[in-house]
Amino acid sequence: MTDQPDARPYSADAALDAQGLLCPLPVIRVQTQVGQMQPGQILEVLATDPGVLHDIPAWCRVHGHEFLDSDKQGRLIRLYLRVCA
């Protein structure tokens, strides 16, 4: 987890706002969004449920996508993943 969101060597191709949603809805929304993206594209997820810090990386491992990074600023959590084939 990084404290400097601007220090990332990549930029998001799409953003998903899952703020206010509780488990399992953020993961379901990520799965839907990833299905509409191309391999190599990066998704930024905005969430407030701290469970996403475990759930999204685990979902990436299971489904073969690359979890890149996360950071937390107050209640806001940002997660980044790369869509893989």
Active site residues: 23
What strands, in cross-sheet order, belong to the sheet with 76-82? 14-18, 42-47, 76-82, 66-73
Angle, in degrees to the nearest 10, between helices 52-63 and 25-34 = 40
Q: Which of 1, 47, 14 has the alpha carbon at shortest distance from 28?
A: 47
